[in-house]
A and B are shown apart, each in its own frame.
Chain A
């Protein structure tokens, strides 16, 4: 695995709170990195990955604060990072906000689209709530009568 892909995975773990195993288990990690490259361009993607790699190795609250100030609260990277979270959770790339486009320029590929049929199926939001995407990955006859099995949050090590 390339360093770039490693950094992308690490960033994705940090943003989604799903483990590398979970993320790779969707079979979509490469395609999502490619989606970033396609929509916002390699340069901004690299800036985002560099910002992640440069995060201080703090734990807990300090780490979260660093992510907020240097990534999610960054004027260029924040909206891109949020779009990446939404992509992992739903399989849909959501068009960046108008304000971002006005400031950093609109991109031809930046429209709202489902990356692929399986991207919808592998949306992490369903896994987060112990359910399944509507119309896919059915849990089996009668399973709905029982309490949901909401997966515990993994102990994450996002540092590449």
Chain B
């Protein structure tokens, strides 16, 4: 175990906060790509993206359940919670950028990277974290809370660190006749409040359920141990669903990774509105209706994060109220994406997800090196 392992409960809480941040950070890019699709085309892609967004919400909720189980207080309204786009995600020795952009081959390439973290090559086995000098203004997702410049090799390693931390701390607590799972059970979100048929939500109450929760997040994203389905051979992992779009063919039972043999998937790569990637409100002319609408959306999104925070802090039934808000976002995002962006001929607007009160601003530059 390296010196960067989780050693205290506070550290574990901070890691789980970052896990929530990470899971949430995938939602704006997926949502934007989803709603950038023009009506009447890309019905398969629409289905795929929609299912995955719903499951990312599930992952966010699962992370909140784990945090609540160990007596933490989820806070999605914290100034450092909402990512600034493009944000960086660990991808082996380098990071990659996750941005807000239209449905496209480039967007899919990024989504594939999000869902399938890089495997650490043999020569780096057992080595520690990757040092990268990330700009102070960039959201470095999946990084170490105590060492801002130290990044995990992959999201998988980030979650492994959490799992090891849980094991370690619970074993420690056990030796002293206690447990780290001291959270109030009524704060757990159960399927009554968030039902996603693709992955059933369950309360986290102990070591076993906490580790199962982490396994579920990883399996839904990248598959189970190299297989394309999750562990009950039921649901295709996100990575492979995205790959179906890239390869233009559905997977079916028995297929090997990378080689789908099911029916064809029709993808119209031009069938999306031309939005300006990673648009910022400041780029939209002052006084324009578009700017006003983009700012209003961000404010509503901020309220939504506050609503989720209350839901995750003892009022789970508020999640039911959050559902109509998500549907309302669909309508607003569609409008933003269909409005032309003034002074940018051929480009349309976009939601910017600049949440009022959040601290990060974009200005990405980075280098990387492996440190022992």
Give the shortest distance, in Å, between B328 (CB) and chain A (any CB): 7
Whether B324 is near chain A, meaning CB under 8 Å from some CB there, is yes
Whether B162 is near chain A, meaning CB under 8 Å from some CB there, is no
Partner of B324, one of A19, A22, A26, A142: A142
Chain A, residues 22-48, CB within 8 Å of chain B (1/0): the string is 101111000000000000000000000
Total A-B Cβ pairs within 8 A: 55
B335 near A116 with CB under 8 A, answer no
Chain A interface residue number, banded: 20 to 34
Whether A75 is near chain B, meaning CB under 8 Å from some CB there, is no
Chain B, residues 318-340, CB within 8 Å of chain A (1/0): the string is 00100111111011001110111
- Which B residues are in CB contact (< 8 Å) with A19? 289
Given the known A-B contacts A20-B289, A116-B40, A118-B40, are A139 and B324 also in contact in the complex, defined by CB atoms under 8 Å?
yes
Alpha-carbon distance A59/B366, docked complex (angstroms): 56
A118 near B39 with CB under 8 A, answer yes
- Which A residues are in CB contact (< 8 Å) with B289? 19-21
B334 near A1 with CB under 8 A, answer no
- Which B residues are in CB contact (< 8 Å) with A117? 39-40
- Interface majority SS (helix, strand, loop, mixed), chain A: loop
- Which A residues are in CB contact (< 8 Å) with B328? 139-140
- Give B195's nearest chain A residue, CB to CB: A141
Whether A121 is near chain B, meaning CB under 8 Å from some CB there, is yes
Give the shortest distance, in Å, between B183 (CB) and chain A (any CB): 27
Whether B293 is near chain A, meaning CB under 8 Å from some CB there, is yes
- Give A154's nearest chain B residue, CB to CB: B289
Alpha-carbon distance A21/B297, docked complex (angstroms): 13
- Which A residues are in CB contact (< 8 Å) with B39? 27, 116-118, 121
Give the shortest distance, in Å, between B366 (CB) and chain A (any CB): 37
Whether A4 is near chain B, meaning CB under 8 Å from some CB there, is no
Partner of A27, one of B293, B324, B338: B338
A143 near B290 with CB under 8 A, answer no
Alpha-carbon distance A149/B265, docked complex (angstroms): 38
Alpha-carbon distance A142/B320, docked complex (angstroms): 8
Whether A138 is near chain B, meaning CB under 8 Å from some CB there, is yes
Contacts of B236-291 to chain A: CB distance below 8 A: 273, 289-290
Whether A137 is near chain B, meaning CB under 8 Å from some CB there, is yes
- Give A157's nearest chain B residue, CB to CB: B289
Alpha-carbon distance A100/B251, docked complex (angstroms): 57
Q: Which residues of B contact A (CB under 8 A)?
A: 38-40, 273, 289-290, 292-293, 320, 323-328, 330-331, 334-336, 338-340
* A-B contact list, 12 entries, CB within 8 Å: A21-B289, A22-B335, A25-B336, A25-B338, A25-B339, A26-B338, A27-B273, A27-B334, A117-B39, A140-B325, A142-B320, A142-B323
Q: Which residues of A contact B (CB under 8 A)?
A: 1, 19-22, 24-27, 116-118, 121, 137-143, 146
Sample of 16 further A-B pairs with CB below 8 A, known A25-B339, A140-B324: A1-B340, A19-B289, A21-B292, A21-B293, A24-B340, A25-B336, A27-B334, A117-B40, A118-B40, A137-B331, A138-B327, A139-B324, A140-B326, A140-B327, A142-B320, A143-B324
Shortest 3 CB-CB contacts between residues of A and residues of B: A25-B335, A118-B39, A21-B289
